[in-house]
Amino acid sequence: MNGITILLVSIAALFAGYIFYGKRLAKKWGVDASKKTPAYEFEDGVDYVPTDSNVLFGHQFASIAGAAPIIGPIVASTYGWLPVLLWCLMGGIFFGGVQDFGAMVASVKNEGHSLGYIIQKYLGKTGKTLFLLFCWLFCIVVIAAFANIVAVSFGSVSNNPTLTMSNGSTATTSSLFIVFAVGLGFFARKFKPNQILQTVIAIALLVIAMFIGLKAPMTSLDVHGWSYIVFVYIFVASVVPVWALLQPRDYLNSFLLIFMIAAAVVGIIIAR
């Protein structure tokens, strides 16, 4: 089976899952597109912020693209491509998609509250406590692992100058992403540009960040220095209003992900 066949089968499976299974779940859960969401009902400018659907898509798209692009090829090289492909398709449609969609619907139907509140509502305080304890422990492991990966990627110094400069370029580009995201968030909130202008600005900022990253790599900080910076960033990102960093950051990153997916598709078509 060549790459194009696998690509077409995957696209068809995901599209069918979205159209048929997604609609079935939406009907079963009583999703009503005409009803006001908590962002409009309880707007506070911090966590409840009415946002354009395209920005929300970018936010969600970038948020769920975690370790899978890194772990997937590693697992595939170990066990072969078929088990990984089946897990990506079946797991994405029947597990991952259902989990994210279900959590979002449950939150919207409960005034935008988190799962902890919802679990307490239906299962009591003990259920909430156990769930939040699990989330806390899980987040510690995930944050520690990802913080270490980022710090090592940004601060590693190799005997190979090219590799050192590559790590530094990644650090510069990623740092500029954050700065540009904050600027884009404040710009969008103050001037409320239309979607076309906002998209053009986002793509331009993305290109500028990568260009500066290639021209001015940051190689002065070691792994420990980047570790402190990453943890400070994690804390700041968790407390600032969602429109000021998280949404514009993920909106910027979504274009990078889309470009990478498009490049991968073109590569598969060319290589077959």
Task: Indicate the Cα dihedral angle 125, 121, 138, 74, nearest 10°.
Answer: 150
Contact 205, 180 (CB under 8 A): yes
Q: Which residue has the tokens 């492909």?
A: 85
pLDDT at residue 8 in the model: 92
Q: How far apart are CA 54 and CA 56, in angstroms?
A: 5
In the predicted model, is pLDDT for residue 62 greater than 90?
Answer: no
Contact 85, 14 (CB under 8 A): no
pLDDT at residue 244 in the model: 92
Task: Indicate the Cα dihedral angle 129, 132, 136, 141, nearest 10°.
Answer: 110
Sequence-distant contacts of 161-165: CB under 8 A, at least 24 apart = 164/219, 165/217, 165/219
66: which 2 tokens?
């975690």
Any idea what DSSP says for residue 88?
I
At 204-244, the pLDDT tens digits run: 999 999 999 999 998 888 888 999 999 999 999 988 998 99
Task: Give the pLDDT band (50/70/90) at residue 69.
Answer: low
Average pLDDT, the chain: 88
255: which 2 tokens?
């274009």
Instruction: Tell me the mean pLDDT in the region 99-121.
Output: 91
pLDDT at residue 70 in the model: 64
